[in-house]
Amino acid sequence: MESNKIEALLEKYDHAETTLAEERELKRYFAEADVPAHLDVYKPMFAYFKANEEEVFTKKLPLKTEQKYVLKWISAAAAVVLLLGFYFSRSNESQDLGTFDDPELAYLEVTKSLEMISEKLNQGTATVGYLDEVNKGTATLNYLNELENATQIIFKKQKQ
C-alpha cells in the first residue's frame, strides 16, 4: 500500500474520523515488517492493540446460586416453626387449668386432689421412718449411762 494513502488515513485516525474498516486496514499495514522510518512510532501502538485483543478470561464462574438460597429459606422456616412451637406449648400449660360449673362436682374434685396430696405426703413420711433407726442408736447409747452408774458406785466406796 502506498505510504501517502496510509499517511492520509493516519491523519484521519488522529482526528478519530476513520471507520472501523479503515482502522483494520491500518492495523494490518503496521503488522507487516517494512514501515517507513517516519511512521515507526505507530508500529508499537497498533501492535499493542492487536496483542491485547487476544487476552481471555479464564476464571471459572460459580453459577450455582439457587440451591443455596432454597436451603437458607428452609432453615429459616424451620427456626421460626421451632420458636412458635415452644411459645405456644408454654402458653397452653400456664393458662388452661380447667374449670367446673357445678359446685358439688368442684368440691368432689378438690377433695379428690387433696386426698391424693395427703397420700403422697404419707408416702414421703414413710421414708422418713428411717429416723427411728437413729432413735434406736441413741437408746443403745443409754447403756453407757449404766456403766457410769457402776463407776460412780465404786468411787463413792473409795471416798468412804
Partner 1 sequence: MTQTEFLHIVTPFKDKVFRLAKRLLVSTEEAEDATQEVLIKLWKNKAKIKAYKNVEAFSMTMTKNYCFDKLKSKQSQNLKIVHSNYEDKQTALQKQVELNDSLTWVEKIIENLPEQQRLIIQLRDIEAYDFDEIAKMLDMNQTAVRVALSRARKTIREKLTHTHNYGIK
Residue 39 in contact with residue 10, Cβ under 8 Å? yes
- Site size toward partner 1, by CB under 8 A: 30
Among 2, 32, 34, 54, binds partner 1 (CB under 8 A): 54
96 contacts partner 1 (rule: CB under 8 A): no
Closest CB to partner 1 among residues 63, 139: 63
Residue 10 in contact with residue 26, Cβ under 8 Å? yes
Q: Which of residues 5-24 bind partner 1 (CB under 8 A)?
A: 13-17, 20, 23-24
Closest CB to partner 1 among residues 59, 159: 59
C-alpha to C-alpha distance for 131 and 69, rounded to whole angstroms: 67
Who's near 36: CB < 8 A, 6+ residues apart? 3
Among 4, 34, 56, 120, binds partner 1 (CB under 8 A): 56
Binding-residue pattern over the window 58 to 87 for partner 1, x denoting contact by CB under 8 A = xx-xxx-x----------------------
Q: Based on the number of CB atoms within 10 Å of its own CB, is 26 exposed (0-12), middle (13-18) or buried (19 or more)?
A: buried
Among 7, 11, 28, 44, binds partner 1 (CB under 8 A): 44
Nearest to 1 by CA among 27, 44, 45, 15: 27
Among 8, 47, 78, 116, binds partner 1 (CB under 8 A): 47
C-alpha to C-alpha distance for 7 and 10, rounded to whole angstroms: 5
- Tell how far CA 53 is from the center of its chain: 48
> Contact positions toward partner 1, by CB under 8 A?
13-17, 20, 23-24, 40-45, 47-49, 51-59, 61-63, 65
